[in-house]
């Protein structure tokens, strides 16, 4: 089998969790909120989907529970970030600790190392037969296809809807949005909730497709990689997708390393480092980050503000 | 809309149940913490009038209008439209009733286009399809209808300030506003643009709109207002109709005292330039010349005023002089020493002090104490440290001296600067910057937002620097202030000096024209 | 307004925040206890026996107290590793990685340097090496932030994951100990002496205290600390007054990294006597919580670290009593700190424009 093709094929499968998370983060950030807790949300989504599979028997239930977990995270985080206005970076970090604690605690009690049967690959007729490309793109599992559909929907939402315009105004100049008659909080709540749900689906994808099970700390930084992708891509949809593909392929290389001749002598630890090193390189190459003007700052509507 | 009948000589008293569409604020009271911003203020607005709301900085004008616009809820009092009470929970409610506000600092998203800014908030967010071409068409048509030709596809950040202001006005008209509140609309405009603005306001009045212009400038009130309401210390002193007021009575109502003259100055200018700027060029990210070949020099004992409409390079010029920005070409010499690329700390060593435009953003660390703020520059220069450790007693002693000298109240060095009033905060900045007895002072909008007393103090301090043989570069949007304080004047337009003259021989029309972009044929007098 | 009136007002203003913080803390504590009781009940454990298990696990006997002391030492250092950069509004999230790297370097040197050197000398060298190693690891996010304004959250996090792999490499490939997820044991001369018989408390504990003193002197009494705080509160004003933001950024990160590296040394030299895989139970991240609870103040970091150590060490006792995973402690600490944020007991101010 052509090594390159299989690397890319696996790469696509591996990048999907990150893509979901990145899409979720795009939705959140376009309203002016930064969610460092994305890692925790992914973890909870993963955990809930494992729970769902185990106790409700079936992949669909797993997915649904994962989505449910994401919604709950979204509600909690929107309360903290938007309504209570706590520092977003710090709250996000603490949320990750909290999520890890919760899932680890509940894992030993309720899951204890069960294995999940994963979604099988579904070949799309006709498209799947295209040489090379077909194998890479169109012989994947359902959640991968779902992400292909989700991506354009998200970008359409952000750029071509009234909601997207208003939310972006809230991320650049929330006071301007308020004086134009908009309610900044009410623009941000749905963004955080939907964003967390998408990120949780990313976690569920991890359990239900690639990993086939839940272990403590399953996400291993994927949420942060998604965060990096969104920052560096500056919300350009193509850049976001490209970034995710890059990481997926980087991870896929780990598995194929022995087939790549000279690189097969590299110790496995260094290969595992690769995605993280790539992230740093990408950050440097993008020369810093350029966020929307008012992102990450909790917004206090005027009537609630003392002079 | 019908014009309300006007009796030229009468002083208006608010009566119940005005004509349909009259907006009334009755007995509005609002307190923020320990400060009473408004106390039982009455204000009414009729269709087809331009009503000026006059008062010093800090008199409560913006608060009152924020209440009318729904940004702030009053503690007591009510709002009536056409005689019926209404409650505004947010600007959304006010906009629904046809009331709109243009803020002093524009509420425009710089990255967005004109069209996107104008339609912001105009339809429900759940209205899904947004087509760029459709909204641009709508906005183009609206701008035509209201007589303001603006290209809807341009990004707001690329537009000059006065055009941005028109976008703000168009935004309100597009939403069907019949009453427009403008908060200090002329603070960043030059004389020519002010005339254009007033023309627009007069047109609005003719078509039946009601306009409130919030201002602290007497001259403008005289020029444009049909009625004036004066606020002082949160209370209304008087409302008068056109013809029943003049500058002196208004000044009295505003401040409670006559305008005070500044002390006479002796001519002390030396020969040597303390500050020498040669062919300075600064480019922005896209390579445009924001400052495009500026040269001037300031001698000892001289104040150079820099006039110009905001956005013509003043800010970048100040930043370059202060050391925050590096010019791409040119030289800055401080008493002979080349400081073109020197750090702010090095410039301090050479005797430069800068009073920044945004004292809370650039000048002060609000959450630190007064003493710490006063020591801010000294610490990094190593003045207050021994073997790396802070000399705290020295810091506090120094603070106490400065606090007394500059009459900062309350004079407690351990108080957080955030708890001081705007005027006292500026005094802290002055104390720190002028307290080190600098040779050259760069002052950017130093009296912005200050009440008359504090502004006076600042101006006297700058004159003091001059008396002591220092050089001052004063950048200000307030032409009156510039003319009052400067020895010579330059006008910046599109990054270049468009006009220069000594104040003794300055021509006001020349200045006005220069600010609007027309270059006079030759400068009236050379400046050093 | 009379002078007395003014003075009164200023005192009230100054203490108003303290009083409000106190009230907020009490509410937060109460709520956290409530949440935990609910969680425990939900998991089928008796809250009282859980509490008893926790306290006895942490403080029940001399040995346990010793464990608490050592874990507190680690948390003090990771707390400082977060607190110092945070004071400059620099998010050093990578203390975990800086600690692992410090541990890696120390283990490697300890196993390769001649072991017949005097114990004092060898340990001193190793301690210094850990400071340098931690600082170097933190310089990656630090320098990138200072030069190109790279997002330090992302970079420091990535460095952590990389450090984990580096440590793993040391354990599996460089200095492996057969049949155990750790390196070979270090020679005696390369370990800290025990200072409290009957416990596992070693010289690492006083080292942590020394670190606090150094941190306090720097943050509260030195020009550098002043600059760090000013930059954290308003970097533009700081810059305009001559402070070199880039330089302070690098120094702050280096200091933070050094403290975290020292934590790694304490673990390797003073607790496990080897580099053990996964020796850190998220101490790096907990350090952030420790720092926040202490409001970034070095003096308060000690009681804050002790509190978290009690929760962590006690969780083992909790496991014995209730059969629950020790990770329950994480839930407690994270909830508590989040609640403190909510009730504004911990406030992080920004250089935010005041409202119009």
Q: Which residue of A has its CA nearest to C344?
A: A86
C residues 289-318 closer than 8 Å to A (CB): 289, 292
Please provide residue B179's backbone torsions phi and psi, each rounded to the nearest 5 degrees. -120, 125
Separation CA C306–CA B185 (nearest Å): 58
Cβ-based neighbour number of residue C247 at 10 Å: 12
Provide the shortest C-alpha distance from residue B427 to chain A (in Å). 20
Stretch (H or E) spanning B390: strand B389-390
The model's pTM: 0.84
> pLDDT band for position A250 (50/70/90)?
confident
Is the separation of the CB atoms in B160 and B516 below 8 Å? no
Q: What is the mean pLDDT of residues B483-488?
A: 90
Of A160, A187, A303, the CB nearest to B130: A160
> pLDDT band for position B523 (50/70/90)?
very low
Q: What's the CA dihedral at A158, A162, A163, A164 to 10 degrees?
A: 20
Separation CA B491–CA B66 (nearest Å): 34
**For position C151, what pLDDT does the model report?**
85
Stretch (H or E) spanning B215: strand B210-215
pLDDT in tens, A6-28: 788 888 888 899 999 999 999 99
Select from B376, B384, B478, B373 the least CA-distant residue to B426.
B373
- The answer, for C17 touching chain B at a CB cutoff of 8 Å, is no
Q: Which residue in the block uniquely carries the two structure tokens 């354009």?
A: A152
Separation CA C84–CA B225 (nearest Å): 57
User: Which range among A152-161, B9-18, B271-280 shows the weakest confidence by mean pLDDT?
Assistant: B9-18
Mean model confidence pLDDT for chain C: 85
CATH homologous superfamily, domain B23-98+178-255: P-loop containing nucleotide triphosphate hydrolases (3.40.50.300)
Q: Is residue B11 pLDDT above 60, yes or no?
A: no
Mean model confidence pLDDT for chain B: 85
Q: In what order do the strands lie in the sheet with B235-241?
A: B99-102, B179-183, B210-215, B50-54, B227-232, B235-241
**For position A112, what pLDDT does the model report?**
66
pLDDT in tens, B443-455: 999 998 887 788 8
Cα distances (Å, whole numbers) of residue A157 to B121, B289, B323, C132, C268: 17, 38, 43, 49, 52
Please provide residue A294's backbone torsions phi and psi, each rounded to the nearest 5 degrees. -110, 25
Which residues, listed in sequence order, are joined to residue B80 by a DSSP beta bridge? B24, B85
| Three-state secondary structure call for residue B77 | strand
> pLDDT band for position A306 (50/70/90)?
very low
**For position C7, what pLDDT does the model report?**
62
**For position C18, what pLDDT does the model report?**
67
**For position B332, what pLDDT does the model report?**
92
- The answer, for B107 touching chain C at a CB cutoff of 8 Å, is no
Q: Is residue C1 pLDDT above 70, yes or no?
A: no
C residues 28-87 closer than 8 Å to A (CB): 43
All structural domains of chain A with their residue ranges: 3-299
> pLDDT band for position C15 (50/70/90)?
low
Between B298 and A254, name the one with better pLDDT: B298
In terms of average pLDDT, the best of A197-201, B250-254, B388-392 is A197-201
Stretch (H or E) spanning B498: strand B496-502
Residues of B in contact with C243 (CB under 8 A): 345, 376, 379-380
Query: C338 and A94: CB-CB below 8 Å?
Result: yes
Q: What is the mean pLDDT of residues B224-230?
A: 92
Select from B166, B67, B64 the least CA-distant residue to B108.
B166
User: Which range among A129-143, B411-425, C23-37, C335-349 shows the weakest confidence by mean pLDDT?
Assistant: A129-143
User: In the 3-class helix/strand/coil scheme, how is chain A assigned residue by residue?
Assistant: CCHHHHHHHHHHHHHHHHHHHHHHHHHHHCCCCCCCCHHHHHHHHHHHHHHHHHHHCCHHHHHHHHHHHHHHHHHHHHHHHHHCCCCHHHHHHHHHHHHHHHHHHHHHHHHCCCECCCCCECCCCCHHHCCCHHHHHCCCEHHHHHHHHHHHHHHHHHHHEHHHHHHHHHHHCHHHHHHCCCCHHHHHHHHHHHHHHHHHHHHHHHHHHHHCECCCCCCCCHHHHHHHHHHHHCCCHHHHHHHHHHHHHHHHHHHHHHHCHHHHHCCHHHHHHHHHHHHHHHHHHCCCCCCCCCCCCCCCCHHHCCC
Tokens of B418: 């955030």
pLDDT in tens, C157-192: 899 989 999 998 888 888 888 888 888 888 888 888
- The answer, for C353 touching chain B at a CB cutoff of 8 Å, is yes
Comparing B23-98+178-255 with B262-351+439-528, is the CATH topology the same? Answer: yes
Between B168 and C45, name the one with better pLDDT: B168
Q: Is residue B487 pLDDT above 70, yes or no?
A: yes
**For position B502, what pLDDT does the model report?**
86
Select from C275, C287, C289 the least CA-distant residue to C104.
C275
Separation CA B280–CA B265 (nearest Å): 31
Q: Is residue B265 pLDDT above 80, yes or no?
A: no
Q: What is the mean pLDDT of residues B296-304?
A: 91
Separation CA C248–CA A292 (nearest Å): 26
**For position A124, what pLDDT does the model report?**
63
Provide the shortest C-alpha distance from residue C1 to chain B (in Å). 10
**For position A154, what pLDDT does the model report?**
92
Query: C242 and B381: CB-CB below 8 Å?
Result: yes
**For position B35, what pLDDT does the model report?**
80
Select from B520, B504, B503, B522 the least CA-distant residue to B512.
B520
**For position B260, what pLDDT does the model report?**
63
Is the separation of the CB atoms in C287 and C78 below 8 Å? yes
Is the separation of the CB atoms in C184 and C176 below 8 Å? yes
pLDDT in tens, B136-155: 999 999 998 888 888 999 99
Cα distances (Å, whole numbers) of residue A18 to A9, A159, A277, B371: 15, 21, 16, 50
User: Which range among A37-41, A166-170, B20-24 shows the weakest confidence by mean pLDDT?
Assistant: B20-24
Separation CA B415–CA B369 (nearest Å): 5
Q: Is residue C126 pLDDT above 90, yes or no?
A: yes
Tokens of A1: 């089998």
Q: Is residue A41 pLDDT above 80, yes or no?
A: yes
**For position B5, what pLDDT does the model report?**
37
Q: Is residue C250 pLDDT above 60, yes or no?
A: yes
All structural domains of chain B with their residue ranges: 23-98+178-255, 262-351+439-528, 363-437
Separation CA B257–CA B110 (nearest Å): 42
Name the CATH topology of A3-299. ABC transporter involved in vitamin B12 uptake, BtuC (1.10.3470)
All structural domains of chain C with their residue ranges: 73-304
> pLDDT band for position B294 (50/70/90)?
very high
Of B366, B368, B388, the CB nearest to C222: B388
Which residues, listed in sequence order, are joined to residue B277 by a DSSP beta bridge? B296, B332
What does DSSP assign to residue B153? T
Query: A163 and B128: CB-CB below 8 Å?
Result: yes
Between C137 and B323, name the one with better pLDDT: C137
Is the separation of the CB atoms in A35 and A88 below 8 Å? yes
Residues of B in contact with A163 (CB under 8 A): 125-126, 128
Cα C1 to chain center, whole Å? 47
Instruction: Answer positive or negative: Cα dihedral of B111, B115, B117, B122.
Output: negative
**For position B266, what pLDDT does the model report?**
66
Stretch (H or E) spanning C232: helix C223-233
Is the separation of the CB atoms in B332 and B276 below 8 Å? yes
pLDDT in tens, C55-107: 888 888 888 888 899 999 999 999 999 999 999 989 999 999 999 999 999 99
Q: Is residue B402 pLDDT above 70, yes or no?
A: yes
Q: Does domain B262-351+439-528 have CATH number 1.10.645.10?
A: no
Separation CA C290–CA B343 (nearest Å): 37
Select from B102, B61, B117 the least CA-distant residue to B185.
B102
How long a stretch of residues is chain C?
A: 356
């Amino acid at each position: 089998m052509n090594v390159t093709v299989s690397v890319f094929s696996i790469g696509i499968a591996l990048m999907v969790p990150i893509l979901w998370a990145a899409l979720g983060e795009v939705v959140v950030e376009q309203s002016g909120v930064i969610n460092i807790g994305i890692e925790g949300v992914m973890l909870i989504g993963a955990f809930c989907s494992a729970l769902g599979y185990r106790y409700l028997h079936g992949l669909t239930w797993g997915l649904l529970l994962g989505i449910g977990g994401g919604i709950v995270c979204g509600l909690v985080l929107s309360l903290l970030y938007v309504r209570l206005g706590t520092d977003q970076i710090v709250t996000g970090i603490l949320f990750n600790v909290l999520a890890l604690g919760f899932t680890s605690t509940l894992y030993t009690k309720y899951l204890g190392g069960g294995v999940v049967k994963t979604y099988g690959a579904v070949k799309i007729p006709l498209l799947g037969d295209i040489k090379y490309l077909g194998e890479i793109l169109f012989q994947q599992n359902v959640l991968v296809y779902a992400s292909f559909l989700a991506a354009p929907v998200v970008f359409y939402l952000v750029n071509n809807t009234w909601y997207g315009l208003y939310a972006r105004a809230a991320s650049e100049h929330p006071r301007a949005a308020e004086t134009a008659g908009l309610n900044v909080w009410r623009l941000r709540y749905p963004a955080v909730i939907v964003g967390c749900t998408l990120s949780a689906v990313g976690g569920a994808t991890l359990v239900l497709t690639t990993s086939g099970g839940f272990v403590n700390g399953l996400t291993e930084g994927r949420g942060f990689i998604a965060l990096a992708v969104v920052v560096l891509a500056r919300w350009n949809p193509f850049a976001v997708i490209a970034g995710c593909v890059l990481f997926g392929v980087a991870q896929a290389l780990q598995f194929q390393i022995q087939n790549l001749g000279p690189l097969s002598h590299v110790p496995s630890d260094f290969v595992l480092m690769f995605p993280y090193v790539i992230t740093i390189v990408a950050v440097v190459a993008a020369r810093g980050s350029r966020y929307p003007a008012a992102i990450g700052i909790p917004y206090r509507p005027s009537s609630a503000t003392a002079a | 809309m019908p014009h309300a009948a006007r009796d030229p000589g009468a002083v208006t008293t608010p009566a119940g149940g005005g004509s349909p569409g009259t907006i009334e604020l009755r007995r509005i009271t609002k307190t923020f913490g320990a400060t009473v911003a408004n106390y039982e203020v009455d204000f009414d607005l009729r269709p087809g009038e331009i009503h000026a709301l006059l008062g010093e900085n800090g008199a409560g004008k913006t608060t009152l209008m924020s209440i009318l616009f729904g940004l702030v809820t009053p503690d007591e009092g009510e709002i009536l439209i056409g005689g019926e009470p209404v409650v505004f929970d947010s600007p959304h409610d006010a906009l629904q009733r046809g009331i709109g506000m243009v803020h002093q600092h524009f509420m425009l998203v710089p990255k967005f286009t004109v069209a996107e800014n104008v339609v912001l908030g105009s339809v429900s967010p759940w209205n899904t399809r947004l087509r760029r071409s459709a909204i641009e068409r709508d906005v183009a048509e609206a701008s035509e209808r209201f007589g303001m030709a603006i290209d809807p596809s341009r990004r707001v950040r690329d537009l000059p300030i006065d055009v941005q202001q028109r976008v703000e006005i168009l935004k309100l008209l597009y939403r069907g506003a019949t009453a427009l509140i403008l908060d200090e609309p002329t603070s960043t405009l030059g004389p020519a643009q002010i005339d254009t603005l007033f023309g627009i306001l007069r047109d609005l009045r003719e078509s039946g709109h009601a306009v409130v212009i919030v201002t602290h400038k007497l001259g403008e009130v005289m020029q444009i207002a049909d009625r004036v309401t004066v606020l002082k210390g949160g209370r209304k002193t008087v409302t008068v109709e056109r013809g029943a007021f003049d500058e002196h009575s208004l000044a009295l109502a505003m401040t409670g005292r006559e305008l005070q003259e500044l002390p006479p100055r002796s001519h002390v200018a030396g020969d040597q330039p303390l500050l020498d700027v040669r062919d300075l060029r600064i480019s922005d990210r896209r390579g445009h010349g924001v400052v495009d070949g500026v040269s001037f020099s300031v001698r000892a004992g001289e104040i150079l005023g820099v006039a110009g409409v905001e956005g013509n390079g003043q800010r970048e010029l100040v930043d370059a002089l202060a050391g925050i920005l590096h010019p791409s070409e040119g030289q800055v010499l401080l008493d002979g020493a080349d400081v073109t690329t020197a750090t702010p700390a090095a410039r301090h060593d050479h005797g430069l002090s800068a009073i920044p435009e945004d004292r809370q953003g650039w000048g002060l660390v609000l959450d630190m104490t007064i003493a710490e703020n006063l020591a801010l520059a000294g610490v990094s220069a190593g003045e207050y440290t021994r073997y790396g450790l802070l000399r705290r007693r020295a810091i506090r002693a120094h603070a106490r001296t400065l606090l007394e000298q500059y009459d900062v109240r309350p004079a407690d060095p351990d108080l957080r600067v955030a708890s001081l009033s705007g005027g006292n905060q500026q005094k802290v900045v002055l104390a720190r910057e002028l307290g080190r007895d600098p040779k050259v002072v760069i002052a950017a909008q130093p009296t912005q937002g200050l009440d008359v007393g504090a502004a006076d103090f600042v101006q006297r301090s700058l004159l003091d620097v001059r008396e002591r043989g220092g050089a001052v570069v004063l950048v200000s949007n307030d032409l009156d202030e510039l003319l009052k304080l400067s020895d010579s004047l330059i006008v910046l337009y599109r990054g270049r000096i468009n006009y220069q003259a000594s104040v003794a021989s300055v021509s006001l029309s020349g200045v006005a024209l220069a600010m609007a972009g027309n270059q006079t044929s030759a400068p009236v007098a050379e400046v050093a | 307004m009379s002078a007395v009136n003014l003075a009164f007002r200023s005192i009230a203003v100054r203490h108003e925040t303290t009083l409000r913080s106190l009230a907020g803390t009490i509410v937060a504590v109460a709520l956290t206890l409530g949440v935990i009781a609910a969680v425990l009940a939900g998991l089928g454990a008796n809250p009282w026996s859980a509490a008893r298990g926790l306290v006895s696990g942490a403080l029940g006997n001399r040995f346990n107290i010793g464990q608490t002391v050592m874990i507190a030492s680690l948390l003090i250092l990771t707390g400082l590793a977060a607190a110092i950069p945070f004071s400059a509004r620099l998010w050093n999230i990578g203390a975990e990685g800086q600690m692992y790297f410090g541990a890696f370097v120390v283990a490697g040197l300890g196993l390769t340097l001649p072991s017949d050197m005097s114990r004092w000398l060898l340990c001193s060298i190793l301690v210094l090496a850990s400071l340098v190693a931690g600082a170097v690891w933190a310089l990656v996010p630090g320098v990138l932030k200072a030069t190109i304004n790279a997002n330090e959250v992302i970079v420091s996090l990535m460095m952590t994951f990389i450090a984990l792999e580096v440590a793993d490499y040391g354990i599996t490939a460089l200095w492996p100990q057969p049949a155990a997820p750790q390196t070979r044991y270090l020679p005696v001369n390369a370990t800290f002496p025990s200072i409290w018989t009957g416990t596992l408390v070693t010289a690492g504990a006083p080292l942590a205290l020394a670190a606090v003193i150094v941190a306090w002197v720097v943050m509260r009494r030195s020009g550098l600390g002043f600059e760090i705080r000013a930059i954290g509160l308003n970097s533009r004003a700081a810059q305009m007054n001559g402070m070199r933001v880039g330089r302070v950024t690098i120094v702050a990160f280096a200091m933070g990294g050094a403290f975290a590296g020292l934590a790694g040394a304490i673990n390797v030299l003073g607790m496990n006597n080897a580099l053990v895989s996964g020796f850190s139970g998220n101490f790096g991240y907990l350090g952030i919580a420790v720092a926040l609870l202490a409001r970034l103040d070095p003096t308060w970091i000690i009681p804050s670290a002790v509190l978290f150590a009690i929760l962590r060490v006690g969780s083992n006792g909790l496991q014995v009593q209730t059969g629950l995973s020790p990770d329950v402690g994480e839930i407690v600490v994270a909830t508590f700190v989040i609640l403190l944020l909510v009730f504004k007991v911990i406030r992080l101010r920004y250089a935010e424009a005041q409202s119009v």
